[in-house]
Structure formats: structure tokens, C-alpha cells
Chain A
Amino acid sequence: MPSQPPLPPLLTPYLSTQPESSLTLISSILGATSNWLVLRFLHAALGASSSSNASFGLDELPNGIKRKVVLVSFLRGWEFWRAEAKRLGLDLARLADKHQFAFVDGLSELFTSADAAPIAPSTNTGGAVRISLPLRSQPGAVPGRGPPSTVRAGRSANGEGSQREPGIAKKLHFSGHGVASLDAMEKDIISVIDQQKTSMEDGDELILVIDQPDFLLAATGASMGIGATEMAEWVTGLQQHVHATVLTMAADSPLIHNASTAGNQLSTPIETEHAAFAIGMAHRARSVMQLRTLETGAARDVSGVLRISRGGGWTAEAKDILVERELLYYIQRDGGVRAFGRGES
């Protein structure tokens, strides 16, 4: 198959224009992940400057606006994003050096303190840390976090230790309880945002991408005094500092529908909180991009369905044109993505 342009033409209008203080929600399910779409957002914002590296001084978008991106990722590490972006022709490490891009790592050390992390490659030795977090000893809080330990192991093998890794602007740590711990993380992210802003001129846009903040909600939850309202306030706090925000969130059926069905029989706290958080964010969002698999089952030339709808925060202003539509997409082996309407190819 021929190689695809980094941005599918049908998607370009949705990816490249983000009105001020808008929120875009990307919802994904297990069979249709949102990574590729996030990467397209990164490319739409940063791609122009990256490709024009050869011809110097032209690192601006056609309309003269420079864009910067701060990516906060809770579910995937720096290596993943760097490698995937490379396949798109986007050198995130280089962009980070140029202060166009900043990566905030919310994965690798989220629940381990900064000092303990380098000498604690295995989760067992983290016991000393947990004295400050008594609730962590509950079963179920630690398992399922496979990737962080591999990242950590890989890093200590490289011998970098506690030294700051290139490309990662900040690592988030969760400590304490309730809103105070969210505030601390918010401050960390805002410090990165401010750092980016120092080299910004008027009219430049800073886009904040938060990858799966629902993980944070799931990992902390009610016992830590964090619920959907607190998470939504946390997002609002960050939104106030940036031009536009892109949020990805899981919308798998059990996480959304168990709590919202009538009669709410026996929905677990995580189902209720997640549904409240995800639906609440959809109410705020200007646009909601929903990824799902084909209803008719797997197909060889279709990876999934992307539905773009107006969210509750969309206002019918004349200049804000957002056409709702549903597209099929196909992710090729080389990472290229094709988007097309139903019945087209």
C-alpha cells in the first residue's frame, strides 16, 4: 500500500484548528486506541516546524502562528511517544530541545517518590515509601502497572539514575491526599507550561494534550478523596493556562454504561466516577472524537470508526464551523493512517 500523508486529508480540518480555550475529547475503547489520533494532533501542531527544519527560519504555520505542545501522559511513557512520533517523521526529542514540545511523564514515577525511584526498580522495595500513603496497601492498587516497572528497569540499566532524562520535562508524583495532591501535580504541569510560555510571542498557541487522565482517577479514587468533580476541576485549572486542550479518555461500555443505566443497580464506585468524569468532560468539550470498532466485526481493511460530534461546549458561533461526521480509518503496518467515508476506499 502506498505510504500515507501524516495527516489524513479528511481529518486535517479537525486536527489543525483549535479555537481558544476549547476542549477536545477523544474517547477510545480497548479495540480502538487513541494513540494514533493524539500523534496526529501533535503532528498538526508541530509538524510544520519539524518538516521545515531543512529550510531555516520557516518554522511557522501558514498563518504565522507558532504552536507549542505540552503532552501529559499517564498511560504511556516517553519512549513510546518518541518512537511512534518518529514513524510519523516527528522528532520529539529535537523539538523538546527547541522548546517547542514538552513531555510530562505521569506514568513512571507517579506513585513513587522522586528519591526512591532510582534505587527501587522492583515494586517490592517501595514499602518504605508507602508509609505516607497508607491506603496503597489495599489490594488492587498496585497490579496492572506493568509498563512502569519495565521502563524503570530499562532506565537503570542505562545507568542514567536519578539524572533527568532527555526529553522529559517533568515527572509527576502523586503524594498526599485528596485535592492537595492534585494541586501539587497541577503546579508541576503549570510550571512546565510557564517554561514553554517564556519563549512565546503574542499570538502563539500552546496546546495541552492530556493522555488518559482517567487512569489517575481510577488509581486514586474515592478512598483518596478524589472523584469526578475534583478531576474535572483539575482539568479546568490546567485549561486556564493554555490555548486549547486535548483530552483522551476510555469509553468502554462497562466504564460508561454500568453506572448510567436506569435503576443504577450495583455499579461500583469506579464505574460511577469514570462515567461521571467522561460524560462531564463531554459536556464541556467543543468536539468529541469517538473511536470504536466496527459493529459488524473485524475487517481486513478497516481498523475502526471515528465519529466526530459537537460536544456540550460547542456554541453556534459563525466562525466556529464544526461539521459532524463519521469516518472509517485504517492503520497500516507502517503506522500510516487512512481515513475515508463509508463505502469509499
Chain B
Amino acid sequence: MAPVNLSHRRTHNLLLISKLLSLRDTASPLTLLQDSLEQPAAPLIKEYIRRAKLGKVHVTLVAFETLKQPEGVDAFVSTRRKSPADIVKEVAAAYQSAASTGPSRRRLIIIDAINPLVSSRRLDPGFNLPSFLSSFIAPSDPLAGKAEASLVVTYHQDVPGLPQQNPYSPSPLSVLTYLATSIITLHSFSHILAQKAARNRSLAAPVFGLEEEQDGILLGRLDKLVGTGAAEGIVLELEHRRKSGRGVLEWYILPPASRYSPLHVKEVVTLLDDNVLYNPPLEPDTNPDNEEPKSTFELGLTERQRREREGVVLPYFDAQHGDGPGEGGRILYDLGEEDDFDEEEDEI
């Protein structure tokens, strides 16, 4: 990547991710997090909550998987045995009680996993995922106020979905990726490094966990690099759709939460290309003069040999004098004393 390009990306795309994660200007009403067992979204959701706290944003967690209310969450909505309509109502109510007491705050709604909902057997056949999601962002109740809400939905990529009841309707994942204004796919940094190392050697990229398709393996993740602490972190692959329709693709890295204080305000996310482990700095040339390949033979010339080589007049220089046909281009050779003249050989 050209350095100009990189610095351009550094300024623009870092600003973008910072805006997205901090929910500024409602840059993304619906963010889809695609995670897998190899890199769960939990650390990223934690980061969302941390930033929401700093920004005094009201956080609601719609829990399909989470058992306990995590730290920093203002409203915890359990979804067990509830219909989608009930969930929407409860989420709206959770904010109203907070809004009635204090000033209007921006709002973050996190759905910790959408898979259980879309593959539920009790689901009404008339259930419409887009309208379910949009009812969070834009409550139909006008009294709910003009709170700017952002929705962050996690989808586990590796959990197989049920076959579609209506074969002509798109799968929930297609619907989600179509609706989402930003899609963040999570990768484990150590896996990205392993895949890059393989690519650099033109080898097939290694696969981990379920993709290994080995009997009895669900998770491939093993922190072999523990102790070095070097390859910790999450790689975020961001696809953001701007209002203009232009898409932005960028790879970022989020360092582990233990690396910075919870009250850290400056941006912690960096570009993946700026990472030292991913893009190691080129080794500077230690000695530019020493360009010759190393060998046991002496490939250099002595001063005398160089002078003699320069004194040689090559035949085509001679030909350019144009001394008449047949004259130029002759090979003139003076016999040295060590030359053994062979008449028969040169007799043409």
C-alpha cells in the first residue's frame, strides 16, 4: 500500500471507527457484529458499553444468551419465553423510565445474539425481522421521544440456522447484512497472523476450530502466545455504508481491555496495517555499499584488470567508423607471445 494512501486511511478511517464505536452522530443506526467461536464478540460489546458510559449513553441489553446483567448496562431485558412484541415493549419501557427522570440521552440497544430468535420454533410465521429491528430504533410510540438510538446486533456465524419455512424468502443473515449500515466481522488476531504468514509463503491459509472439521473439535483457539502477550487483540473487519451509498472497507485492531484504563478517552483502535506484528517494519539496509552476492569465489576485479577491460575496443565500435565495406567490424587480434597459432584452424 502506498504511504500516501495509508496516511489518508489513517486519518479518515480511524475517525470513522471512533465515531461508530462511540455512537457519535448516530453514524450507524444498525450495526451487525458477525462473530464466531474463534473470536466471540464479547470484548467488542464490552468496549461499546465502556464508551457508552463515557458518553453518558443509555445502554439496554436485550439478552438472548447473557444470564446476568453486565457492568455498565442501564437496562437488562431478559427474553426468555417472551414474544418479539413483548421484547420491543419492554425495551421501550426501559428507556421511558430513565428518560422521564433525566434529560434526553442517546441510547444504545445491544442484542447479544439474534440466532436464538430467528431459529425459534415458537415464532409466529408472520414475524418480520426488519420491522422487529426497526421498532427498536424508531419506536412507533410518539411519546417515546426523539431519542437517537443505535442498535448493535450480534450474529453467530457458525451456528447453523433452520431451513427457511418459505423457500423464497431470504435467510435471516442476508436480511441482516442487507439492512445493516455497518457490518463488523470479528477475527482473532493470532489467526490473522497465522494466515498472513502462510500467505507470505504461498501456502494454503490454516483454518481453526469448526472449520478444521475434526472430530470432537469445537474451538481451535488456544492462547499459545500467552506470556508474550504480543498477538492479543481482536481484528475488526469493517464494512460501513455511508449515507451517500459509498462503502468503506477497513481492517482495524482492538487491543485487549487490559491494555488501557476503562476511562481512557483517546482512540485505542488502530489500523491493522499499522500493527507492528502484522506489518513488520522493513529491515533497513545495513550497508548499502556491500551489494555483491557472497561467494567463495573472488568476483571483483583488481585495478589492473579493470583498466585492461576498459581498453578493449569491441568490434561494433570499430564497425561504426565506416571505413568501407568489409573493413569495419573485422576482428583484429594481436597474437600475444603465449598464443599458439594454429594455421589449420583459422584457414577459412
| B contact residues around A276 at 8 Å (CB) | 115, 119, 159-162
Contact A282 B218 (CB under 8 A): yes
Residue-wise interface mask of B (169-204) relative to A, using a CB-CB cutoff of 8 A (1 in contact, 0 not)? 000000000000000000000000000000000000
Residue A82, interface by CB 8 Å: no
Contact B37 A227 (CB under 8 A): no
Known: A229-B116, A316-B257. A272 touches B163 (CB 8 A): yes
| A contact residues around B119 at 8 Å (CB) | 227-229, 276
Contact with B215, one of A228, A240, A253, A264 (Cβ below 8 angstroms): A253
Residue-wise interface mask of A (301-318) relative to B, using a CB-CB cutoff of 8 A (1 in contact, 0 not)? 000000101111111101
Known: A290-B219, A307-B217, A325-B222. A230 touches B42 (CB 8 A): no
Contact A251 B115 (CB under 8 A): no
Residue-wise interface mask of A (221-241) relative to B, using a CB-CB cutoff of 8 A (1 in contact, 0 not)? 010011111101100110110
Q: Could you tell me the distance between the alpha carbons of A178 and B156 in the complex, rounded to whole angstroms?
A: 25
Q: Shortest beta-carbon distance, A306 to chain B, in Å?
A: 10
Known: A276-B119, A279-B37, A312-B42. A284 touches B65 (CB 8 A): yes
Task: Give how many A residues have a beta carbon under 8 Å from the other chain's beta carbons.
Answer: 61
Residue-wise interface mask of B (26-42) relative to A, using a CB-CB cutoff of 8 A (1 in contact, 0 not)? 00000000010100101
Residue A188, interface by CB 8 Å: no
Contact A230 B219 (CB under 8 A): no
| A contact residues around B121 at 8 Å (CB) | 178, 222, 225-227, 229-230
Contact with B226, one of A227, A295, A323 (Cβ below 8 angstroms): A323
Interface centre among B37, B46, B70, B156 (most CB of A within 10 A): B37
Q: Shortest beta-carbon distance, B189 to chain A, in Å?
A: 14
Contact with B158, one of A229, A260, A290, A309 (Cβ below 8 angstroms): A260
| B contact residues around A290 at 8 Å (CB) | 216-219
Which residues of A does B touch, CB under 8 Å? 20-21, 27-29, 31-32, 178-179, 222, 225-230, 232-233, 236-237, 239-240, 251-253, 256-257, 259-261, 264, 267, 272, 275-276, 278-280, 282-284, 288, 290-293, 295, 307, 309-316, 318, 323-326
Q: Could you tell me the distance between the alpha carbons of A179 and B218 in the complex, rounded to whole angstroms?
A: 28
Contact with B219, one of A227, A253, A280, A307 (Cβ below 8 angstroms): A307
Residue B139, interface by CB 8 Å: no
Q: Shortest beta-carbon distance, A104 to chain B, in Å?
A: 21
Q: Shortest beta-carbon distance, A172 to chain B, in Å?
A: 20
Nearest-neighbor residue (CB-CB) of A254 within chain B: B215
Q: Could you tell me the distance between the alpha carbons of A125 and B256 in the complex, rounded to whole angstroms?
A: 61
Contact with A312, one of B40, B122, B258 (Cβ below 8 angstroms): B40
Task: Give how many B residues have a beta carbon under 8 Å from the other chain's beta carbons.
Answer: 42
Q: Could you tell me the distance between the alpha carbons of A222 and B217 in the complex, rounded to whole angstroms?
A: 26
Q: Which of B25-63 contact A (CB under 8 A)?
A: 35, 37, 40, 42-43, 46
| A contact residues around B115 at 8 Å (CB) | 229, 276, 280
Q: Shortest beta-carbon distance, A230 to chain B, in Å?
A: 6
Contact A227 B160 (CB under 8 A): no
Contact A237 B163 (CB under 8 A): no
Residue-wise interface mask of B (121-139) relative to A, using a CB-CB cutoff of 8 A (1 in contact, 0 not)? 1100000000000000000
Known: A256-B210, A260-B160, A284-B65. A312 touches B120 (CB 8 A): no
- Top 8 A-B pairs, shortest CB-CB distance: A292-B216, A312-B40, A29-B216, A259-B160, A309-B219, A229-B120, A229-B116, A253-B215
Contact A312 B46 (CB under 8 A): no
Q: Could you tell me the distance between the alpha carbons of A326 and B221 in the complex, rounded to whole angstroms?
A: 11
Q: Could you tell me the distance between the alpha carbons of A265 and B244 in the complex, rounded to whole angstroms?
A: 38
Contact B116 A27 (CB under 8 A): no
Q: Could you tell me the distance between the alpha carbons of A316 and B221 in the complex, rounded to whole angstroms?
A: 15
Contact with B221, one of A228, A275, A292, A309 (Cβ below 8 angstroms): A309
Residue B113, interface by CB 8 Å: yes
Known: A178-B121, A227-B119, A229-B121. A283 touches B159 (CB 8 A): yes
Residue B12, interface by CB 8 Å: no
Known: A259-B160, A283-B65. A295 touches B214 (CB 8 A): yes
Contact with B120, one of A29, A230, A237, A252 (Cβ below 8 angstroms): A230
Q: Shortest beta-carbon distance, B7 to chain A, in Å?
A: 32
Q: Shortest beta-carbon distance, B219 to chain A, in Å?
A: 4
Contact B216 A293 (CB under 8 A): yes
Nearest-neighbor residue (CB-CB) of A261 within chain B: B213
Q: Which of B95-130 contact A (CB under 8 A)?
A: 113, 115-117, 119-122
| B contact residues around A291 at 8 Å (CB) | 216
| A contact residues around B43 at 8 Å (CB) | 316
Contact with A280, one of B68, B159, B162, B163 (Cβ below 8 angstroms): B159
Residue B309, interface by CB 8 Å: no
Q: Which of B146-164 contact A (CB under 8 A)?
A: 156, 158-163
Report 28 cross-chain contacts, Cβ distance below 8 Å, ordered by A residue: A179-B81, A225-B122, A230-B120, A236-B67, A239-B67, A251-B216, A253-B214, A257-B213, A260-B158, A260-B160, A264-B160, A264-B163, A276-B159, A276-B161, A279-B158, A279-B159, A280-B156, A283-B37, A283-B40, A283-B113, A290-B218, A292-B215, A307-B219, A309-B218, A309-B221, A311-B219, A315-B46, A326-B222
Residue B80, interface by CB 8 Å: yes
Residue B223, interface by CB 8 Å: yes
Q: Shortest beta-carbon distance, A191 to chain B, in Å?
A: 19
| A contact residues around B156 at 8 Å (CB) | 279-280, 283, 312
Residue-wise interface mask of B (212-235) relative to A, using a CB-CB cutoff of 8 A (1 in contact, 0 not)? 011111110111001000000000
Nearest-neighbor residue (CB-CB) of B258 within chain A: A316
Contact B160 A233 (CB under 8 A): no
Q: Could you tell me the distance between the alpha carbons of A293 and B226 in the complex, rounded to whole angstroms?
A: 25
Q: Shortest beta-carbon distance, A44 to chain B, in Å?
A: 22
